[in-house]
């Protein structure tokens, strides 16, 4: 089975749950395991939250893009923003690193995305935005 979708939405925190619902609905025909569904929803949630909070910090009218493609049992996900970008990706990927205050952010976003997917990559350019790509092999039963 091959299927795909592309969507763009405003970079507002209310749309993080919308992105989780969309990826869930997209995967339903595959009849994934509960664990796979939870992992994917969590990874997408983290990627979208990072785009909204860090990519568009202090910016109105930002757009987050979510692309998903299911080829056989492999899910490919891409979450992109055209926000401020990341100056040092290696540092940003370290557990507990955050640009927010310690009380606001845990600094675990990239770590969580990596833990819940089979592959995760981050591309970013300061002033142009960030793209997170993830892959997950699913146990589809549909």
Of 1, 4, 20, the closest CA to residue 64 belongs to: 20
**pLDDT value at residue 67:** 98
Would the CA dihedral through 65, 68, 26, 24 be positive or negative? negative
Q: Which tokens go with 84?
A: 């401020």
**pLDDT value at residue 108:** 59
Catalytic pick among 15, 16, 50, 114: 50
Catalytic pick among 20, 93, 105, 123: 105
Of 136, 125, 24, the closest CA to residue 80 belongs to: 125
Mode of pairing for the β-strands spanning 2-10 and 119-125: unpaired
Helix, strand, or coil (residue 8) = strand
pLDDT, mean over the chain: 87
Q: Which tokens go with 87?
A: 């100056």
pLDDT tens per residue, range 36-50: 999 999 999 999 998
Q: Which residues of 69-94 are buried (b: 16+ CB within 10 A; e: fewer)?
A: bbeeeebebbbbbbbbbbeeeeebbe
Asked if CATH classification 3.40.30.10 holds for the domain at 2-137, the reply, yes or no, is no
Q: Is 105 a catalytic residue?
A: yes
Q: CA 122 from chain center: how many Å?
A: 10
Sites in the chain below the pLDDT cut of 50 = 101-103
Where do runs of H (alpha helix) occur along 57-142? Answer: 89-92, 109-116
Q: Is 69 a catalytic residue?
A: no
Question: Domain-by-domain residue ranges, the chain?
Answer: 2-137
Catalytic pick among 46, 61, 71, 90: 46
Quote the CA–CA distance of 72 and 102 in Å, as a whole number. Answer: 41
């Amino acid at each position: 089975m091959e299927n795909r979708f592309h969507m763009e939405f405003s970079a507002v925190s209310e749309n993080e749950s919308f992105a989780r619902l969309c990826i869930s609905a997209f995967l339903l025909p595959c009849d994934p395991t509960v664990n796979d569904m939870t992992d994917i929803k969590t990874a997408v949630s983290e990627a979208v939250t990072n785009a909204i909070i860090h990519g568009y910090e202090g910016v109105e009218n930002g757009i987050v893009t979510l692309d998903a493609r299911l080829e056989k049992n492999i899910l490919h996900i891409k979450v992109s923003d055209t926000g401020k970008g990341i100056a040092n990706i290696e540092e940003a990927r370290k557990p507990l690193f955050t640009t927010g205050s310690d009380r606001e952010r845990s600094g675990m976003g990239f770590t969580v995305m990596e833990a819940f997917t089979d592959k995760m990559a981050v591309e970013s350019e300061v002033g142009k935005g960030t793209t997170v790509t993830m892959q997950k092999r699913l146990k589809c039963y549909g």
